[in-house]
Amino acid sequence: MTGATRSRRVVLVLLLVVGVAARAASGAVTDGLLPNGNFEQGPDASQLNGTRVTSPNAIPNWEISGFVEYIGSGQKQDDMILPVPEGAYAVRLGNDATVRQLLSVTRKAYYSVTFCAARTCAQAEKLNVSVGPENGVLPIQTVYSSSGWDSFSFAFRARHSTLWLTIHNPGAEEDPACGPLIDSVAIKKLSPPPREKGNMLRNGDFEEGPYIFPGTAWGALVPPMDEDDVCPLPGWTVMSDTKVVKYVDAAHHAVPRGARAVELVAGREAALVQEVATTPGRWYALSFSVGDAGNGCAAEAMVVEAYAARATARVPYESRGTGGSSAAPSSSPRRRSSRAWCSRATTTT
């Protein structure tokens, strides 16, 4: 062995050791609830005036600004009881109020953040979620669950290894206490859109997507976004003005295949879009399953519309609310694999 190869080997070993040490020190977040992401650790009595939090660092792991309240389960507002979905505490963001937490992430990786929110007054509430330079304004005026709580998702690509996750209520209401409740903030690293052999669509089975809280029955809403934003559903884009699609799990919903599916809860006001590279003049076949999530919407005549280039398919589905599914555009309820033309699907009810 020559001296040159020996010294090259030493260098390689050193690099490896440095790499491991750097990764251990970075302590990037792991999938699941953020530290004190459910706000169960709260302020000391001396840092509260009634329900209002009076010190910026009173809630462990979080930093607050503006009119932030610390809400206990069962607390009343006028005659309405404010429920808390997980544990015993949540926060409420009044006008222009913010909660934020510093995240350690892996640079250049993709992440999605999921959090629970509920409105407390009737006005059109919005939440401005930002992670570093990326931000999105999520409309929360439409309630999609019977509990009043929904989980919202937001995705980003980490430009730095430490980033502030900020949830901000940009509202300016007369009653400063009229703001959304926030509970349970979680994060999940997203894998690149998985591609199945023989399927040109990426993440066609929707198996990769935002974090869903295992104890909740309301999935996670995926908001509309601009083309260049990161979608919590890798491979797909949600197209709409203010409406969402609902990402659901097999534990609480009927899912025809795999562990995840998408429920088109907003009717024709929201569409799922994916761009596929094709060769002009060639023929392509597309198959998909249409069903209901098994959440009791009985005797509803539904239609899914699919478009690809200039071709359109309308796929009717008669829901019994019990979680059946059929292939598109076949009307036989058992067949799952048939053909249609599609790059985009919307429902009408």
Ligand X SMILES: *[C@@H]1O[C@H](CO)[C@@H](O)[C@H](O)[C@H]1NC(C)=O
State the residues that interact with ligand X by CB under 6 A: 49, 128, 130, 135, 137, 166, 168, 170
CB nearer ligand X, residue 38 or residue 130:
130
First to last CA, the chain: 75
**From the CB of 105, what's the least distance to ligand X, in Å?**
17
**From the CB of 12, what's the least distance to ligand X, in Å?**
43
**From the CB of 54, what's the least distance to ligand X, in Å?**
7
Q: Which of these, 304, 298, 344, lies nearest to 324 by C-alpha position?
A: 298
- DSSP single-letter state for residue 141: -
**From the CB of 299, what's the least distance to ligand X, in Å?**
41
Using CA atoms, how far residue 260 sits from 212, 255, 263, in Å, is 10, 6, 10
Residue ranges with strand state E in 147-244: 150-157, 162-168, 181-190, 220-222, 237-239
Q: What token pair was written down for 199? A: 């399927």
Q: Is the peptide bond between 329 and the residue preceding it cis, with omega within 30 degrees of 0?
A: yes
**From the CB of 211, what's the least distance to ligand X, in Å?**
22
Burial 36-56 (b: 16+ CB within 10 A, else e): ebbbbebbeeebbeebbbeee
CB nearer ligand X, residue 40 or residue 63:
63
CB nearer ligand X, residue 51 or residue 330:
51
**From the CB of 49, what's the least distance to ligand X, in Å?**
4
CB nearer ligand X, residue 65 or residue 104:
65
CB nearer ligand X, residue 170 or residue 256:
170
Place of tokens 């109020």: 97
What is the largest distance, in Å, between two alpha-carbon atoms of the chain?
Answer: 84
CB nearer ligand X, residue 154 or residue 236:
154
**From the CB of 126, what's the least distance to ligand X, in Å?**
7
Place of tokens 């009927």: 254
**From the CB of 130, what's the least distance to ligand X, in Å?**
4
- Using CA atoms, how far apart are residues 325 and 33, in angstroms rounded to an integer? 33
| Other Cβ atoms closer than 10 A to 204 | 18
CB nearer ligand X, residue 97 or residue 313:
97
CB nearer ligand X, residue 182 or residue 271:
182
- Using CA atoms, how far apart are residues 237 and 216, in angstroms rounded to an integer? 24
| 3-state class (DSSP) for residue 14 | helix
